[in-house]
Structures are given as C-alpha cells and as structure tokens.
Amino acid sequence: MTFESVPGLVETRKEHDETTLVVDPARILAACRHLRNVEGFNFLSDLTPSDYLGWGSRGVAGYYGTDKGRDLNAPAGVGASVASQAFSRVPRTKPKRFSVSYHLLALRADPARVRVQVWIDEGEALESVISVWPTADWHEREAWDMMGIRFEGHPNLQRILMEDDWEGHPLRKDYPIGGEPVRFSGEE
C-alpha cells in the first residue's frame, strides 16, 4: 500500500513492520479524511500524544554520550561518565517537542494498520478529527488533559481524567513527580 496521495505527507517510515506517516500538522484533518474515505481506515484505535522534552539530554532515561558515541577522553562528570553506558549513542533528535500519533486500523477482510504522526510545539493546536471518527472525542480530551494539546473544533474540550480545576498537564515531562500536597494528612 502506498500513501503518496495523503495530503500533507512529509515522510513515510517503516520500522518493526509498522508504517508511520509523518504529516504536516496543519493538514491533519484532510489527511485523516483521505485515509478514511480513500484508503479505508475506518477505525481509530488510539490517539497518543508524547512529550519529548529533554529527549537525549542528560539525566533522562536515554542519556549515554555524544551522537558519535562515548568520548573516552572526556573528563569525569562531562559526557558519558557512567562506565557501563559503553558506546551507546544519544537518540535521534526529534523535530519538535510533542508528537501526536493516530493509530488507524482498516477493519475489513485484509486488515491494515498505519500510524499517522504530527509534530507540534508548545502552544500549537491541531484540528479535531471527531468529524472523521466520533471515537476521537474522549481520546482528544485525554490528550488535552494529560499533555495540554489543544484541538480546534472539539465541541467539549474539557479535562477528563483529572479534576476540573486541576492545574498543569501531568504526563508532560516537566510535570513534577511527587511533591503534591496531601490532603488531610497532618492538616490542622
């Protein structure tokens, strides 16, 4: 299956037997509509935002060294000072901070899956795909609640998992872990 006619297509990747279509965020709605109507992807499995803040930098899960590998002559404390990190490389850089992945499924006799991915920065919004797949309703609300991704045209973009008056978006990488004030405990 080729996806050359998908509107706004930037790049097609194939990894682990999965096809990823990177799409221009401004044209996500047109791309999704095309994929449903022309390519037959009638089922939205999942919609996942990911935060890549600090990707490949120090102190996060994947820090090992420079992009050429570990520098053996670097003084301790700089670069890869942890000996076990060997010659691992820093991961490939990402174009922007957030990715939003739409996992589509063609529910028919010869099933197919595809991942549509868009890259956006803090403050950028995406068009809602509720008109294409109604199931996107809660998925988009969850993406807003957890990651702070705004979806334009969503009729009811409110928090879904957290309380209505919650501040911040918990799944972002800069959201602190712990340190939440505990209600009642030790309260006068």
- 161 lies in the binding site for another protein (CB under 8 A): yes
DSSP, collapsed to helix, strand or coil, labels residue 35 as: helix
Q: How far is the CB of 33 from another protein (least distance, A)?
A: 14
CB closer to another protein out of 103 and 150: 103
Token pair in block for residue 13: 């990747």
Closer residue to another protein (CB): 61 or 76? 61
By the 8 A CB rule, do 60 and 42 touch?
A: no
Query: Within positions 47 to 106, which residues make up the interface with another protein, using CB under 8 A?
Result: 48, 50-52, 55-56, 60-64, 84, 88-89, 91-92, 101, 103, 105
**Segment contacting another protein (CB under 8 A): 3-11, 25-33, 68-76, 162-170?**
162-170
Among residues 50, 52, 48, which one has the least CA distance to residue 103? 48
Instruction: Confirm if 172 and 148 have CB atoms less than 8 A apart.
Output: yes
Q: Which of 25, 115, 126, 129 binds another protein (CB under 8 A)?
A: 115
Nearest-angstrom CA–CA distance, 98 and 174: 13
